[in-house]
Structure 1
C-alpha cells in the first residue's frame, strides 16, 4: 500500500464515519481511489471531501484559538483554474466575499495541487522599505517588497502601501497583479478617549488571509489554498503594531500618554500596550468590522474544547500560540497543558518560493 493510499484511507474512514456512511460506501470509495492512484500516481478528491478536509484542517490547527467556528468555513473549489489571470480573479473574489463589507466570513479557496503558488504571505499586507532614514512600513515585508520591486512594482514608499499579488504557475516567471483599492477594507485606528491617537495616522486591513501555507488532505497537498478567519485584536494591537521588529508603536504611544519611559518599573510598555489594543478593538467595532478580543476568544476556545470532548475527539494545541500576547494569565489556556501532536488534514508551512 503506497503512502498516499494509506493517508487516503485514513482520511476517507475518518470523514465517512463522521458523517455516518456505511462500510460498503467506504470500501467502494477506497477502491476507486486505489484505481486512480495505480493509473495516475494520484487521485482526485470530490468537492465534498475537500470541503470536509479544509474544515477539519482548521479544527486540527494547533496554533489557532478560533477553532470553535471551524464548521462555518466557506470553501471555494478553484482546482480547474490554470492561468495566472484566472487565479488572480479568484483571489479578488475571495477577498470580496471574505470581507463582506466588514462582516468577515471565514473562507478558503483551493487551487490545483499541481504547479500553482501564491508568493504572498497574506493576500493583503503592507510593504516594507529599507531606506537611508530607516525602515518605512512593515519590516516583516522587506524581502517580499524587494521581490515585487524586482518584478516591476513601484510602491509609494509610505507606511501602509498595499503589496501586489504575485502568482506563479508551472515553471513560468511569476506574474504581478495590483489589488484594486475598492477590494481592500482598512480601519483607521483611533481611541475612544485619547483623541490624539488619530494624528498617528495608523490603520490596519480588515481581513488576514494567509496564502503561504499548504493544505494537506488525505495524501494530497494543495500548495495554494489561501484561507482566513477574522482578527483577534491582539494580533494587530500586541504584535503587528506593537512588536519592535514590526511597527513598534508602543514607545510613541507611551510618549504621547506622558508616561515615564526611563523606568521599566513604571510599566509604561504595559500601559501603552493596553491602550493600543483598546484602540484597535474600538476602531474595528466602530467601523462594523468583525474582530474578537482575547478574553472572548479564550472563552470561545473553552467551548470548542468542550464540544470536541462531547464528540469524542482530543483537542491538540500549541500552548505558546494559543495564549494571547496580552494578559495571558487571565485566560484558562495559560493554566493548562496541551498535546501539540499534529493531525491531518491540516495547514502546514512550506518553503518560500523566493
Structure 2
C-alpha cells in the first residue's frame, strides 16, 4: 500500500454530515429527465424513463442516474455555474464515475488519481470525479477541504502568518487532529479531511507526485525569482455538492484550469492572503507612501505578468483575463442561440484585474439559479 495512505488516521470531534434527504422530489427528477431527453433526442423514450424513475423513487426514495445522465448532469452543472467565466468548454468536462466508492480510503485514492489525471503533465484537463450519492438514511462521503490542494497557514506571535492566512483555522484544526506533515514553510500542502457516509473521518496527506507546482519568475526582473513564490497548477474545488435531478452527490471534486488573475490578483495579492504587493512594489522602487503613485496597480500588473510568464514557460495550461472574457461572451452568444439562459454573477465574471478593460464589464447578466448545479455544503471544520 502506498506510503501516503499509511498516514490516514481516524479523527475525533469533527462535525458529522447533514442527514441525507429522505426522498427525491419527483418534480426535480422529472425536470431533469425531460431536459436530458430534450438535449439528447437519441436517448430513447422519456416517458418510459420517467416511469422507471417514479417506480424507483416510490420503492426506495431515490433513483440511479445512467452513465449518460450523470455525464450530462455534471457538464450542465458547469454550464449553469454563474460564477465561472470559463464555461465555453463545458462539453469537454471529463467525468470520472466513481459512484461505487463511499469509503474514506477509496475517496482518498480516487482524489489523488483525479489530480494525476487532471494535471496531465501540465496540459490541464477539466475533470470531475463523482462519488457515492446521498440516499435516504445513507449519506454519501464528503471532502471537508475547499480544494484538493491548498496551503497551510501558521500564525506567529507578532500576528503575522507564514503561509496562507485564509487557512490558519483549518491548519490549526488538522494539526490538532494529528497532522504532522507541515514543514512550516509558506507553501505546505494541507492534508485532505474525508468524512465517509458512515464511520470515522480520515486525514491523509496528498503525495508529492500528485502535486504540480510552478515556481514564479518574471521575464524582465531577475530578482523576482528570489521572492520564492509558487503556486499549484490544478484548482480542484472539493467541498461542493453536485445536484442532478433531486439527487445530491456530496463528494464531487472538479477542476478547470487557472485564469492568471485568480493567482496574481487574488491568492498572492489580497491583503488577507499572501499580500505580496508591498514586497513587489518595494523591489520595483515605487513610492508606497502615496496612493496616487498607483504603486498597488503597478505591482499588481507585474505580479500577474510573472504568473502568466511562469506557467507558460513551465508548459502548464493557464489563461489570461482578457482572452477568457472574450471566450465567455462567445459562450454567452452560443447559449442564447440555443435558446438557453446563461446565468452569470457580474461580481464574479468581471476579472479582479483591469475589469473595465475587458468586454464582460460593460453589460448586465441574468443571474438565476438553474439545475443541475454545484451547491455549497454547510461548513464542517
Q: TM-score range by the shorter chain?
A: over 0.9
Partner of 1:30: 50
Answer with 31-40 or 125-134: which moved more. 125-134
Q: Does 1:99 align with 2:99?
A: no
Partner of 1:204: 231
CA apart distance, 1:189: 0.6
Q: Does 1:246 align with 2:273?
A: yes
Answer with 143-152 or 204-213: which moved more. 143-152
> Would you identify which runs of 4 or more consecutive aligned residues in structure 1 move more than 6 Å?
none
Q: Is the Cα contact below 8 Å between 2:24 and 2:57 reproduced in 1?
A: no
Q: How do residues 99-178 of structure 1 correspond to structure 2 at under 5 angstroms?
A: 99-113=119-133, 114-133=139-158, 134-154=160-180, 155-178=182-205
Q: Does 1:222 align with 2:275?
A: no
Aligned counterpart for 2:309 among listed residues 282, 298, 303: 282
Q: Is the Cα contact below 8 Å between 2:24 and 2:61 reproduced in 1?
A: no
Q: Is the Cα contact below 8 Å between 2:141 and 2:197 reproduced in 1?
A: yes
Partner of 1:61: 81
Work out the number of aligned pairs and report it. Answer: 352
Q: In the aligned structure 2, how far is the partner of 1:206 from the partner of 1:151?
A: 28
1:139-191 C-alpha deviation (Å, 9 max, x unpaired):
11112112211221121111000111111112422111111111110000110
Q: Is the Cα contact below 8 Å between 2:24 and 2:62 reproduced in 1?
A: no
Q: Is the Cα contact below 8 Å between 2:32 and 2:244 reproduced in 1?
A: yes
Partner of 1:326: 353
Q: Does 1:293 align with 2:314?
A: no
TM-score, normalisation: structure 2: 0.91
Partner-residue secondary structure (3-state), 1:214:
strand
1:74-110 C-alpha deviation (Å, 9 max, x unpaired):
0011111132111111111100000000000000000
Q: In the aligned structure 1, how far is the partner of 2:76 from the partner of 2:24?
A: 20
Aligned counterpart for 2:296 among listed residues 269, 272, 297: 269
Partner-residue secondary structure (3-state), 1:215:
strand
Partner of 1:75: 95
Q: Is the Cα contact below 8 Å between 2:112 and 2:206 reproduced in 1?
A: yes
Structure 1 gaps, min length 5: none
1:2-52 C-alpha deviation (Å, 9 max, x unpaired):
861110110111111111148x71000000000000000111111111100
Q: In the aligned structure 2, how far is the partner of 1:82 from the partner of 1:255?
A: 50
Q: In the aligned structure 2, how far is the partner of 1:76 from the partner of 1:314?
A: 27
Q: In the aligned structure 2, how far is the partner of 1:209 from the partner of 1:339?
A: 26
Q: In the aligned structure 2, how far is the partner of 1:243 from the partner of 1:278?
A: 16
Partner of 1:233: 260
Answer with 171-180 or 120-129: which moved more. 171-180
Q: In the aligned structure 2, how far is the partner of 1:217 from the partner of 1:170?
A: 19
Answer with 298-307 or 66-75: which moved more. 298-307
1:265-285 C-alpha deviation (Å, 9 max, x unpaired):
000000000000000000000
Q: How big is the alpha-carbon RMSD for the aligned residues of Structure 1 and Structure 2? A: 1.2
Q: Is the Cα contact below 8 Å between 2:326 and 2:360 reproduced in 1?
A: no
TM-score, normalisation: structure 1: 0.97
Q: Is the Cα contact below 8 Å between 2:217 and 2:225 reproduced in 1?
A: yes
Q: In the aligned structure 2, how far is the partner of 1:216 from the partner of 1:196?
A: 47
1:220-250 C-alpha deviation (Å, 9 max, x unpaired):
0111100000000000000000000000000
